[in-house]
Amino acid sequence: GQQLNQSPQSMFIQEGEDVSMNCTSSSIFNTWLWYKQDPGEGPVLLIALYKAGELTSNGRLTAQFGITRKDSFLNISASIPSDVGIYFCAGYPRGGATNKLIFGTGTLLAVQP
């Protein structure tokens, strides 16, 4: 099946640092979603992107829908300890079923106070 390549797999940073992660595919996507998952909990939707070039912010988080429509980026500014968790990208590929979301393998973020 289709896959989303998410990188990096893990990040260990100091509090206050900025973070960048990305998600790429060989296919064109119509929608990109970014989720955060805390340990033992379900993913929580952070940002949704619907068109190429779109840049959307949610507090200290900013995500972009890549111009090629094959990638997306998530940035976290001035990280804090509660940013710890696993961040997943997800998307709906063009021509795919509109109800079958494809997930990346996640980026584990650890923030040292």
Partner 1 sequence: DGGITQSPKYLFRKEGQNVTLSCEQNLNHDAMYWYRQDPGQGLRLIYYSQIVNDFQKGDIAEGYSVSREKKESFPLTVTSAQKNPTAFYLCASSIRQGASEKLFFGSGTQLSVL
For partner 1, the closer of residues 47 and 111 by Cβ is 47
Q: Is 105 in the site for partner 1 (CB under 8 A)?
A: yes
Instruction: State which of positions 12-71 bind partner 1 (CB under 8 A).
Output: 30-31, 33, 35, 40-45, 48, 50
Nearest to 105 by CA among 88, 83, 84, 85: 88
By rule CB under 8 A, what count of residues binds partner 1?
25
For partner 1, the closer of residues 78 and 110 by Cβ is 110
Nearest to 61 by CA among 101, 34, 84: 34
**Are 87 and 110 a contacting pair, CB within 8 Å?**
no
Q: How far is the CB of 85 from partner 1 (least distance, A)?
A: 13
CA 62/CA 76 separation, integer angstroms:
7
Q: Where does this chain bind partner 1 (CB under 8 A)?
A: 1, 4, 30-31, 33, 35, 40-45, 48, 50, 88, 90, 92, 98-101, 103-106
